[in-house]
A and B are shown apart, each in its own frame.
Chain A
């Protein structure tokens, strides 16, 4: 009898059939589309483009409408208002100053204003003008453009102190 050969043939057929359906390859040759929802040139180097996700893009829009006047060195209207203020506000991409501040701290100072956080009263409270989600989006945008880049902290820091 030729049983072994029959089994051999059947096994070969089975392997071939299974090979055909293990299309793992298609998963790897699928090229993911461009991920960016929006983009912002790096403020220190306009050749460098930072890609933004949905939330950061919303933050970008709010930043350019409400915050850019005092937290950027140039504004859509031309000169910045920074030089009129004392103490001078930090640039939004100033990672050296802002990276050490927690998200909660930033959320609070934007919502409640400078004087509520024992900082300059020149920073107005935005809590009644912007929604909390909008303020969160602004912070996400600021984190995205920070130079040096922002690293998420391992543990959450206090919302009441700067450090």
Chain B
């Protein structure tokens, strides 16, 4: 090649270079242009335009700058650029629903977005600067934003104790606990109780093979006129604790054969006093008398019965024990007598208190249950051979283990099944790659997975062993919320430090009090120093509140203080000695330091009492909530016997600050002067029901 040709390039090459460099320049220009037209810039401009057109422009644009905004909280692992588009979240003037999103202010909640960021509660991707990537599951980002209906799921990550602000989470946890999910699954924050389902060792004594067969088919005892199933529970739509397992008739026959074949210690039939039997056997009103007694004893506080009202079947009664409408067709009469007499001998961990029965009452109530609470058609459609066949028993044994029955039910001599289902204690933190969607058609992310799996386990896994629960719409959402809150051990140090552990106090009662406390299962309804049920008043400070003679009398003959309550303290027929022990312990031990019972109070004058009456009736009109005698409101307790019931020092302290004594009481805290308090107390202690100590409703003893 000639030297002068070295620097020369042919026209053709030059053209190629020209074109390619122009294209290159344009492509280079695309990058800044892309940035200029990006979504977040669009929202920045829109916000600016909106703020510009409002009277409070200056305030709205005080922090405005054209770049990407972010909330950075390194200890919470938060780098949230959500505020780049959601620019008005801290502007109180942008709360109105007419403000278009993403500019609306965040509703007022206890945690400020600037301190917590957004993704701590809402999930989603804080780094993302595109709408889709921030909110949805994409290939690159796995965590979708939580729909608002599940947002309480994140409250539960730190708040392991229920908080009133997150009712859906609390409900979900309660449902999970009620339905004994812990039987098969490991769950965060839920402990396995001593007993889940009843011990089935001696079920032969209790019921028939036919009934077991029927129960396995349909673990409910009620069907209404239209054949719709209503279930035992406080609301007709609630799920029963025993789910309906996917079993066919052969399997049900096998399981029932296996269960009825368990060797059990046959119970000796209870021998009633022959005089009682002789006196009552022939009485035409035996069953009616039994029903009256059943009602007087307030069995309905824990057990419900179906009642037809206005053509509609309704369950009336509590949900602590099983619904009893057809129990007479279930249990054997001898078993029922021995159960009523001492339920704790059959199920030591059960919740049923051991009543003090007279033979007469036991005889009457037993007849009532076996005669009235029955359904002759209940077992009509059950067709299985009377005698259990050996091969049925064997396959029943196998099924019992295959279906995980041993997760909830104990049978003596059989190994309890533990962790039958998968560990769910970190289910809420699972990423999409850990979930098995099977052939199900649904968006690939955790939320639809949980919704679908909990609503119908077979929907994502055709071979699921988990039975199907029929949740109400709201409850399904609550359970999903609670499942989302279970996210295992928090690895982010900032969040780990924030976890407020669930404190579950235990209350141990010892000695004679402990025996009576266990016998009557006081803690099923009452609360003692944070432990126990919430159906009945908290007794932690009962000794400060009530006078000991009153407690003794109340235990022997509980009369409700609140006329509208449907659930009342049952008539246990406690003995004099037990009443003395219980009252003595409550009066001396269950006290608060706020109320000094030993402090000397000057005698009240009659002038004070009449001034108090004036305050009660005219100035403060306490009768709007409290009844004295028959006049007054239903909201607070009846005060007709306040003088015998309440300690003077308690009344004084109660009038000073009721919430300091009972934190969730709805008695309004008022600013009474010292004179007013004394006058009101003086009046209240004069309210004594004469003869309450002696006169009482029939106490249920043999008469």
Interface residues of A, Cβ cutoff 8 Å to B:
1-2, 6-7, 9-10, 13-14, 17-18, 21-24, 26-27, 30, 32-38, 53-55, 57-58, 61, 65-66, 69-70, 75, 77-79, 81, 84-85, 113, 115, 120-122, 124-126, 128-129, 133
In this complex, what residue of A is CB-closest to B19? Answer: A6
- Is the Cβ of A125 less than 8 Å from the Cβ of B164? no
Cβ distance B417 to chain A, nearest Cβ, rounded Å: 38
- 5 smallest A-B Cβ distances: which pairs? A33-B147, A122-B624, A21-B34, A128-B669, A124-B668
- Is the Cβ of A84 less than 8 Å from the Cβ of B148? no
- Is the Cβ of A79 less than 8 Å from the Cβ of B37? no
- Bound-complex Cα distance A66 to B39 (A): 47
- Bound-complex Cα distance A22 to B33 (A): 10
- Is the Cβ of B633 less than 8 Å from the Cβ of A81? yes
B513 within 8 A of A: no
Binary A-proximity of B115-151 (CB < 8 A = 1, otherwise 0): 0000000000000001110011000000001111101
22 A-B pairs whose Cβ atoms sit less than 8 Å apart in the complex: A7-B22, A17-B33, A18-B37, A23-B130, A24-B42, A34-B148, A54-B109, A61-B167, A70-B633, A77-B565, A77-B566, A79-B564, A84-B624, A84-B632, A84-B633, A85-B624, A113-B668, A121-B620, A124-B620, A125-B670, A128-B669, A133-B108
- Is the Cβ of B101 less than 8 Å from the Cβ of A129? no
- Which B54-108 residues have C-beta < 8 A from chain A? 101, 107-108
Interfacial chain A residues near B620, Cβ < 8 Å: 121, 124
Contacts A21-B37, A77-B566, A122-B621; A54 near B108 (Cβ below 8 A): yes
Interfacial chain A residues near B136, Cβ < 8 Å: 30
B308 within 8 A of A: no
Most-contacted residue by chain B among A7, A33, A70 (CB, 10 A): A33
In this complex, what residue of A is CB-closest to B477? Answer: A34
Sample of 20 more A-B contacts, CB < 8 Å, known A36-B149, A77-B565: A6-B18, A10-B22, A14-B26, A17-B34, A18-B30, A18-B37, A21-B30, A21-B38, A23-B130, A33-B146, A35-B148, A37-B149, A54-B107, A61-B165, A65-B664, A69-B633, A77-B564, A124-B668, A128-B669, A129-B669
Interfacial chain B residues near A38, Cβ < 8 Å: 167-168
Interfacial chain B residues near A23, Cβ < 8 Å: 39, 130
Interfacial chain A residues near B550, Cβ < 8 Å: none
Interfacial chain B residues near A124, Cβ < 8 Å: 620, 624, 668, 670
- Is the Cβ of A27 less than 8 Å from the Cβ of B148? no
Interfacial chain A residues near B37, Cβ < 8 Å: 18, 21-22
- Is the Cβ of B619 less than 8 Å from the Cβ of A121? yes
Picked from A55, A78, A133, the residue with its CB within 8 Å of the CB of B566 is: A78
- Is the Cβ of A26 less than 8 Å from the Cβ of B132? yes
Picked from B39, B145, B562, B667, the residue with its CB within 8 Å of the CB of A27 is: B39
- Bound-complex Cα distance A157 to B625 (A): 32
B2 within 8 A of A: no
B27 within 8 A of A: yes
Contacts A21-B34, A26-B131; A70 near B109 (Cβ below 8 A): no
- Is the Cβ of B30 less than 8 Å from the Cβ of A17? yes
Most-contacted residue by chain A among B136, B620, B664 (CB, 10 A): B620
Picked from B130, B165, B635, B659, the residue with its CB within 8 Å of the CB of A58 is: B165
- Is the Cβ of A13 less than 8 Å from the Cβ of B564? no
Cβ distance B237 to chain A, nearest Cβ, rounded Å: 14
Binary A-proximity of B182-198 (CB < 8 A = 1, otherwise 0): 00000000000000000
Interfacial chain B residues near A122, Cβ < 8 Å: 621, 624
- Is the Cβ of A32 less than 8 Å from the Cβ of B101? yes
- Bound-complex Cα distance A70 to B107 (A): 29
- Is the Cβ of A13 less than 8 Å from the Cβ of B107? no
Picked from B22, B148, B669, the residue with its CB within 8 Å of the CB of A37 is: B148
In this complex, what residue of B is CB-closest to A65? Answer: B666
B503 within 8 A of A: no
In this complex, what residue of A is CB-closest to B666? Answer: A66
Cβ distance B661 to chain A, nearest Cβ, rounded Å: 13
Interfacial chain A residues near B666, Cβ < 8 Å: 65-66, 69, 129
Interfacial chain B residues near A75, Cβ < 8 Å: 564
- Is the Cβ of B671 less than 8 Å from the Cβ of A6? no
Picked from B27, B145, B664, the residue with its CB within 8 Å of the CB of A33 is: B145
- Bound-complex Cα distance A98 to B29 (A): 62
B23 within 8 A of A: yes
Contacts A10-B22, A85-B633, A122-B621; A53 near B566 (Cβ below 8 A): no
Picked from B15, B30, B132, B668, the residue with its CB within 8 Å of the CB of A125 is: B668
B634 within 8 A of A: yes
- Is the Cβ of A61 less than 8 Å from the Cβ of B635? no
In this complex, what residue of A is CB-closest to B122? Answer: A33
Interfacial chain A residues near B33, Cβ < 8 Å: 17-18, 21
- Bound-complex Cα distance A33 to B147 (A): 5
- Is the Cβ of B149 less than 8 Å from the Cβ of A34? yes
- Bound-complex Cα distance A142 to B315 (A): 31
In this complex, what residue of B is CB-closest to A3? Answer: B18
Interfacial chain A residues near B19, Cβ < 8 Å: 6, 9
- Is the Cβ of B130 less than 8 Å from the Cβ of A26? yes
Contacts A23-B130, A125-B668; A10 near B109 (Cβ below 8 A): no
Interfacial chain A residues near B635, Cβ < 8 Å: 69-70, 81
Contacts A81-B635, A121-B620; A57 near B167 (Cβ below 8 A): yes
Cβ distance B285 to chain A, nearest Cβ, rounded Å: 30
Cβ distance A35 to chain B, nearest Cβ, rounded Å: 5
- Is the Cβ of B132 less than 8 Å from the Cβ of A81? no
Most-contacted residue by chain B among A21, A35, A133 (CB, 10 A): A21
- Is the Cβ of B634 less than 8 Å from the Cβ of A79? yes
- Is the Cβ of B107 less than 8 Å from the Cβ of A55? yes
- Bound-complex Cα distance A113 to B621 (A): 12
Interfacial chain A residues near B659, Cβ < 8 Å: 129
Interfacial chain A residues near B669, Cβ < 8 Å: 128-129
Interfacial chain B residues near A113, Cβ < 8 Å: 668
Interfacial chain B residues near A9, Cβ < 8 Å: 19, 23
Picked from A1, A58, A84, the residue with its CB within 8 Å of the CB of B634 is: A84
- Bound-complex Cα distance A57 to B147 (A): 17
- Is the Cβ of A30 less than 8 Å from the Cβ of B132? yes
Interfacial chain A residues near B29, Cβ < 8 Å: 14
